Amino acid sequence: MKMLESNSSAVRTGRGGQSGVLFAMCLSLVLVVASVSALNLALPDLAVELGATNSALTWIADGYTVALAALVLPLGALGDRIGRRKVLIAGNVVFAAAAVFAACSSSTSHLIACRVVMGLGAAMIMPGTLSTITAVLPKDRKDRGVAIWSGFAAAGAIIGMLAAGGLLEQFSWKSIFWASGATAMACALAALLLAPETRSSVKEHFDFPGAATTALAVGALVYGIIEGNDRGWTRPEVLAAFAVAVVALAAYVVLGLRSRHPLLDPRLFGLRGFGAGTVAILVQFMAVFGFFFVGLQFLQLILGYSPLHSAVALIPVAAVVLPTSVVTPRLAQRLGVKAVMPAGLLCLAGGMFWLTLLHADSGYLPFLGALVLAGAGIGLTSATGTSSIVDSLGPDSQGVASAMNDTAREVGSAIGIALMGSVFSSHYRSALPEDLSRLPAQAAETVHHSAAGGLEVAAHLGAQGPALAAAVRDAFMSGFTSAMEVIAAILAVAAIVCAVIAPRPGRKAQAAAAQPHWSAEPEAATRQQATALDRDTDLLNASTADRP
């Protein structure tokens, strides 16, 4: 088996070499990312067939991302300890089983539960994809490997929607889950045949308190956002959820500072690259998946596109993201992350602001212009953000670095869907005409709960239908515009933050540089000599050197 030198360690690359590892890991990556976005195409069908409200649709979309965001960090650390490929393959099996059960769902509650279990499987898969690539590829190819991974992480959403759109042209929404289950088993086989087993050479105790507090903080925060919009922000359960999120986050910080082996040391956020990369990735994915949640409904409900046509309409994003991601490492070397990362966020903010200028009769071309600008921003931000995070940690911590990158992505996705879905829903409802009471009670409630349901009611209303349909579309655009305004403002603020804290040209955080290097197999006992004191000293030295 071919051996390569990576980070001064002999690393086995598997039967397919480096290309085989990249293929297997990116295949699993696309499955995870595509499953966040693919079901968005079926939301109008779910609203009609299962009677799902806007709140239920948000949970169907977000149940997956909440579980993924809450669990990806501890499961990434688990993969570091017992083997990343083992956890990734097991995750694909869990994912496939949950997808099969989801295909058999007959109620929104059953579907939401299945999506949560799929998120658990995805959390087992996701960390191993990037950490295996960064562990296996030699130093001179690692940046390109990370850029390719970042490109597929962004384009995977479009790939998933294209596949889902094609399925929905011929079959029901259940076909998406049958296809997802089959793909997951193919991913497990590819990982088994093409990827090596990788793990950290340093044995540490698992941080159960850190895992519990991070999962609880993420879950409670997203629950509060979704339910606050649906039930009211002053409801006791909503206020309790936000309180739990704050307490859990504070507990994570306190426990992390006291622990000798924290799941994610809070002091890492003092590193310029780690902090800036985390902010950039989190806010980018807030925008991207919040946009997919609302934007796909714009294409289907306002422009009247079919699911497949809607997915094809988003191809320009992927067409811009992939080449931009590949050239971004060169731009970062020449101009510095401090310039490229904020520029990417500003491009994405510009694309989102462009969308606020649309109205119900705008058509596709103005929408396309916003997509192109946003795609350039995604490519620039994703590649620089991911590289900043993984370069901030040493080779034995690549599983945690990868999981932190994934956590930022999925927390951003979950919050983005919840936040933009909530802003959209509240402004949609407030913009509806006041004379809905003239409709039958059940029809009025349907219009109030979802735009797709409102248009369905209008289609069966007879002479009053066109007026109601126009009112629903105008209300939709009110919610759509408000959601885009909010996310554009958040992106602009994040760009300023990253411009301030990102590393200066030529200064990369080298936390844990003196840690023992990654080992392909646990029997490399000579690589397991570092003590907790040594690692803490390395981290402190790197943190001090890299602060502004």
In tens, the pLDDT along 316-332 reads 887 888 788 888 888 88
Closest CA to 6 of 196, 270, 262, 225: 196
Instruction: Read off the pLDDT band of 529 (50, 70, 90).
Output: very low
In tens, the pLDDT along 285-314 reads 889 888 888 888 889 888 888 888 888 888
The percent of residues above 90 in pLDDT, for the chain, comes to 21
Cα–Cα distance, 367 to 358 (Å, whole number) = 8
Q: What is the pLDDT of residue 505?
A: 66
Q: What is the pLDDT of residue 122?
A: 93
Q: What is the pLDDT of residue 15?
A: 60
Instruction: Read off the pLDDT band of 345 (50, 70, 90).
Output: very high
Instruction: Read off the pLDDT band of 202 (50, 70, 90).
Output: low
Superfamily of domain 3-207+259-541 in CATH is: MFS general substrate transporter like domains (1.20.1250.20)
Q: Assess whether pLDDT exceeds 70 at residue 509.
A: no
Averaged pLDDT of the chain? 79
Assign 260 to helix, strand or coil.
Answer: coil
Q: What is the pLDDT of residue 521?
A: 38
Q: What is the pLDDT of residue 13?
A: 56
Q: Assess whether pLDDT exceeds 70 at residue 33.
A: yes
Instruction: Read off the pLDDT band of 541 (50, 70, 90).
Output: very low
- Sequence-ordered list of residues with C-beta below 8 angstroms from that of 471, at least 6 positions apart, any chain: 432, 433
| pLDDT mean over 237-265 | 87
Q: What is the pLDDT of residue 527?
A: 35
Q: What is the pLDDT of residue 116?
A: 92
**Angle between the 84-103 and 174-194 helix axes, to the nearest 10 degrees?**
160
Q: Assess whether pLDDT exceeds 50 at residue 8.
A: no
Q: What is the pLDDT of residue 398?
A: 61
pLDDT, greater one: 266 or 369? 369
Residue found under tokens 């996310």: 487
Q: What is the pLDDT of residue 312?
A: 87
Instruction: Read off the pLDDT band of 5 (50, 70, 90).
Output: very low
Closest CA to 284 of 488, 460, 431: 488
pLDDT, greater one: 399 or 525? 399
Of 157-161, 269-273, 375-379, 398-402, where does the model show the most confidence? 375-379
Give the distance between the most distant pair of CA atoms in the chain: 81
Q: Assess whether pLDDT exceeds 80 at residue 539.
A: no
Q: What is the pLDDT of residue 95?
A: 96
| Window from 9-13, 35-39, 158-162 with minimum mean pLDDT | 9-13
Element containing residue 236 per DSSP (H, E) = helix 236-258
Q: Where are the domains of the chain?
A: 3-207+259-541, 208-258
- Encode burial over 48-79: b for 16+ CB neighbours within 10 A, e otherwise: eebebbbbbbbbbbbbbbbbbbbbbbbbbbbb
pLDDT, greater one: 5 or 57? 57
| pLDDT mean over 99-110 | 88
Q: What is the pLDDT of residue 547?
A: 42
Q: Is 54 within 8 Å of 446 (Cβ atoms)?
A: no
In tens, the pLDDT along 465-499 reads 788 888 888 899 999 999 999 999 999 999 999 99
Element containing residue 5 per DSSP (H, E) = strand 3-6
| Window from 3-12, 170-179, 199-208 with minimum mean pLDDT | 3-12
pLDDT, greater one: 56 or 110? 110
Of 55-69, 199-213, 328-342, where does the model show the most confidence? 328-342
In tens, the pLDDT along 134-156 reads 788 777 777 778 778 877 876 78
pTM across the whole model: 0.70
Closest CA to 112 of 67, 168, 179, 171: 67
